[in-house]
Structure 1
Amino acid sequence: MAVAHSRQNGALENPVDLPAPSLGAGATTAEGSTAKDAHPSGREKHGRFTQLLRGVTFAVYFTSCCVAIHATQILGSPLYWINRDVYYAYMALTKQSFGLLVTTMTHWWSPTTIRISGDASVAGQIRKTPDGRVEFSFPERLILIANHQIYTDWLYLWWVGYANSPRMHGYLYIILKESLKYIPVIGQGMMFYGFIFMSRKMAVDQPRMAYRLRKLKTQQTAPGGTSKFYTPMWLLLFPEGTNASQNGRNKSAKWAEKIGVKDPEHVLLPRSTGMYFCLSELKGTVEYVYDCTVAYEGIPRGKFGEQYFTLASTYFQGRPPKSVNFYWRRFRVADIPLDDAASFDVWLRDRWYEKDALMEQYLSTGRFPPSPPQPTTDDGSAAKGGSRGGDEQDGFIETEVRTRYWWEFIQIFVVLGAFGLVGNMLLKAWSNLVHAVF
């Protein structure tokens, strides 16, 4: 279904006729509080002891994996001075490990339904596998943009890279706040990943971004020197600059008033400078911008996800989002006005007004628009990319965040284990040599 935007009121034209779920706005719960103040995922599922146990096991798993990944990065860092191509391939392997970490920790401690739909621009690129997973067929190089609801948005989008074919969880690049690089272990690990850290001062940030983006658009030579190619890259941007909150809402309103535009109701007004710079630098090496609109089930109108889905609620109390909802669109870079910053600013703002309309539909109906039916051949059979079937009949794919095989998390420790094994063998060989000589 195509999404049309009304400039007068930001409403969604021709909204899908879906039954509106009872969100219980204003209803009184057994505890005497109003439903809009209750947690969207209900009461705590676990008692204090179980929460403590879940917290300890989560901390042990997350910390041990982060330490193992960072140690693997340090051990491979000399490759930077030996062979840059091998070094970046090695770091992509460690980035895959972090993708496995966030996927497994979500599956084990914070299981949730992922509900996916999209417009005609992504038709045939999202399908459900026979074992209940979802598989994306997005290209190896793209810019990914999304509205920023809560701090874990990036986690679910990293999982999308894992679920893609080919898998892209080793080639995700994120633009982050500069303060994050000072987090012990994690911050240094993200620096190895080639993430871009922003101080929010363009005079400082532009040279950093230019340096990193030049690396991302440098062509590599294929084995044998017969051809050249660009390294796979998913560049994740949150044009809003911060997650939705009352403070962000107030800043968005002030900014909208300052520049004389309408402030969206459900998303924050995007800032276009960083994205414009990225697109301008990468133009000619990236064909598409993929846009994801994200919504979390049960957040009352006028409230914010950060008020409900905290670390404790999501991972320890057993109250993760009941569903995380994605609506996908795709835009060709060649069709985006990049001749001047002002035109691009208008283009991006219009896309965010469309997002606001999508969010209004979600809040009103509990669903984003469904995906359009896939094309069929003359005999009625599915064309390439497949038609809806099974759980896709209503235009939505429902799945969960999980790895294909339960044991994949072991890969996080494989490289470090191999270093340990080789080191142990070398020590034994050295010891035997010393004893033989002396």
Structure 2
Amino acid sequence: MPQMNTEGQRLRFPPPKVKLDIPNGTGNPPQPDSAHPMGPPQYGLPMQALRIFLFGLYFFGSAVCIHGGQILGWPLYLFSADWFYAYMALTKQYFGLLITTMTQWWSPTLVRVSGDKSVAGQLQQAADGSLRVDFPERIVLISNHQLYTDWLYLWWTSYTNIPPVHGHVYIILKQSLKWVPIIGPAMQFYSFIFMARKWDQDQARLRYRLSKLNTRHSGPLSGSQGASQYDPMWLLLFPEGTNLSANTRASSAAFAKKAGIPDVRHQILPRSTGLQFCLQELRNTVDYVYDCTIAYEGIPAGQYGQDIFTLRSVYFQGRPPKSVNMHWRRFAIKDMPIDDSKAMYEWIVARWHEKDDLLEAFRQTGKFPAHAEAVNIEGGPKDELKTAYISTEVAPRSPLEFLQMFAP
């Protein structure tokens, strides 16, 4: 089965560059503290208990307040749908602030951002060290899925955009999350898209939700003088469908063998049906697909991030990843074969093989291969010594910004 490069040329699938090491268990057993890649816990049991209490108080207390704000704003729909959606976008900004401050306070981590030539000049670092990205207000965002926290860093990226669009993030999720107490109903207010992973059921639901994202609105967040225009939208989906683990790696290898295609080494083979359908529906209002390859420093070869960077170790024991690495690329939708199912599958698999090479380089060197022209650092060098990486952290613009969550 042929694949295509970024110029749309058809190529043969490259052979895997390293021997596949496919785990055959159900996952790595919990490691004793002495064997943990991040070393012993930074905090003892009493401090861990205090951190758990404070974390729960802040997260669930804030979530209740945000959801309460949503309920307070629900009657707006009876008067103006535009005002209702604008208000829900505001409460979505609150949740973006919640996960940003939550990560800054309980899991401060170096974030290293890079890109290739396709995002030249769109990755910026301000004089205060904060990240600023200059992506369009309407994009489809895809990423590999290493950990459950991947979406957190991608949502934070929307907060750093110029202008910020963290109130206009839409995530495609599995159906079982729809009725999680507080969080599930809140995500329904946010117009997140829930999928049952049965295409005959999901297709109609997805078409309806995408039609809403293609509708012009005129409201307080839609431009000057009530002009009718498309709202900002970052549609996030993970083509792999689930995060990386021993089980999912084994399933990916089995599928690759059955299909007669090379497997990937550090990911799961992606699916193309959902992405292709989204691009077909959004092609007239969205120009680019932005692709993020994400990797966490500190995962030993043959192990999986979900077994090492658990909620307990990252937020309560003080053992976050040494760094979170995000490498960006973009692709013009007009150059993608979105009307040919076979070619679209070949396209997405080709991109995943490229991402796999990026992840292999990261495993060997600790950084992604990157282009210096992708980044612009305020006050940084202007010559050939210019770095290709932005080193920053997840943080709000103001230490008091989180208080907005309690305003309603």
Q: TM-score, normalised by structure 1?
A: 0.83
Quick one: distance in 2 between partners of 1:133 and 1:93?
22
Instruction: Check whether the contact 1:296–1:305 (CA below 8 A) recurs between aligned residues.
Output: yes
Please state whether the residue corresponding to 1:292 is helix, strand or coil. strand
Quick one: distance in 1 between partners of 2:51 and 2:239?
34
The residue number in structure 2 matching 1:409 is: 402
Please state whether the residue corresponding to 2:324 is helix, strand or coil. strand
The residue number in structure 1 matching 2:287 is: 287
- Tell me the alpha carbon deviations over residues 323-367 of structure 1, each in whole angstroms, 9 at most, x when there is no partner: 000110010010111121111010000000000000000001111
Quick one: distance in 2 between partners of 1:357 and 1:185?
40
User: 1:372 Cα deviation (Å)?
Assistant: 2.8
- Structure 2 counterparts to residues 389-400 of structure 1, below 5 A: 393-400=386-393
User: 1:75 Cα deviation (Å)?
Assistant: 0.9
Instruction: Check whether the contact 2:116–2:374 (CA below 8 A) recurs between aligned residues.
Output: no
Query: Which of these residues, 85, 97, 100, is aligned with residue 82 of structure 2?
Result: 85
The residue number in structure 1 matching 2:309 is: 309
- Counterpart of 1:397, as a letter, is I
Q: Tell whether 2:40 aligns with 1:43.
A: yes
The residue number in structure 1 matching 2:195 is: 198
Instruction: Check whether the contact 1:136–1:164 (CA below 8 A) recurs between aligned residues.
Output: yes
Quick one: distance in 1 between partners of 2:338 and 2:267?
24
Alignment size in residue pairs: 385
The residue number in structure 1 matching 2:210 is: 213
- Structure 2 counterparts to residues 6-405 of structure 1, below 5 A: 7-11=13-17, 38-221=35-218, 228-373=228-373, 388=381, 393-405=386-398
The unaligned stretches of length 5 or more in structure 2 are: 19-30
* Root-mean-square deviation (Å): 2.6
Quick one: distance in 2 between partners of 1:197 and 1:209?
8
Instruction: Check whether the contact 1:124–1:385 (CA below 8 A) recurs between aligned residues.
Output: no
Q: Larger RCO: Structure 1 or Structure 2 (Cα < 8 Å, ≥ 6 residues apart)?
A: 2
User: 1:145 Cα deviation (Å)?
Assistant: 0.4
- Counterpart of 1:168, as a letter, is V
The residue number in structure 2 matching 1:420 is: none
Please state whether the residue corresponding to 2:100 is helix, strand or coil. helix
Instruction: Check whether the contact 2:114–2:374 (CA below 8 A) recurs between aligned residues.
Output: no
Please state whether the residue corresponding to 1:373 is helix, strand or coil. helix
Instruction: Check whether the contact 1:161–1:169 (CA below 8 A) recurs between aligned residues.
Output: yes
- Tell me the alpha carbon deviations over residues 277-335 of structure 1, each in whole angstroms, 9 at most, x when there is no partner: 11111111100000000000011122110010111001000001110001100100101
User: 1:196 Cα deviation (Å)?
Assistant: 0.4
Quick one: distance in 2 between partners of 1:93 and 1:414?
11
Instruction: Check whether the contact 1:161–1:172 (CA below 8 A) recurs between aligned residues.
Output: yes
Instruction: Check whether the contact 2:314–2:320 (CA below 8 A) recurs between aligned residues.
Output: yes
- Tell me the alpha carbon deviations over residues 346-401 of structure 1, each in whole angstroms, 9 at most, x when there is no partner: 000000000000000000111101223369xxxxxx9x9997569x9331100000
Quick one: distance in 2 between partners of 1:225 and 1:130?
34
User: 1:251 Cα deviation (Å)?
Assistant: 1.3
Quick one: distance in 2 between partners of 1:114 and 1:219?
36
Quick one: distance in 2 between partners of 1:270 and 1:350?
10
- Counterpart of 1:52, as a letter, is A
- Counterpart of 1:152, as a letter, is T
**More divergent stretch after superposition (185-194 vs 76-85):** 76-85
- Counterpart of 2:400, as a letter, is W
Quick one: distance in 2 between partners of 1:283 and 1:59?
41
Q: Which has the larger radius of gyration?
A: 1
- Tell me the alpha carbon deviations over residues 197-231 of structure 1, each in whole angstroms, 9 at most, x when there is no partner: 01100111111101100000112246788853211
Instruction: Check whether the contact 1:138–1:165 (CA below 8 A) recurs between aligned residues.
Output: yes
The residue number in structure 2 matching 1:29 is: none
Percent identity of equivalent pairs: 52
User: 1:406 Cα deviation (Å)?
Assistant: 0.4
- Tell me the alpha carbon deviations over residues 226-249 of structure 1, each in whole angstroms, 9 at most, x when there is no partner: 853211000001000000001111
- Counterpart of 2:264, as a letter, is P
Instruction: Check whether the contact 1:40–1:297 (CA below 8 A) recurs between aligned residues.
Output: no
Quick one: distance in 1 between partners of 2:230 and 2:345?
28
Distance change >3 Å, CA 183–CA 89, structure 1 → 2? same
Instruction: Check whether the contact 1:270–1:348 (CA below 8 A) recurs between aligned residues.
Output: yes
- Counterpart of 1:315, as a letter, is Y
Please state whether the residue corresponding to 1:406 is helix, strand or coil. coil
Q: TM-score, normalised by structure 2?
A: 0.89
Quick one: distance in 1 between partners of 2:246 and 2:65?
38
- Counterpart of 1:147, as a letter, is N
User: 1:34 Cα deviation (Å)?
Assistant: 11
- Tell me the alpha carbon deviations over residues 165-196 of structure 1, each in whole angstroms, 9 at most, x when there is no partner: 11011000000011111210000000000000
Quick one: distance in 1 between partners of 2:248 and 2:99?
26
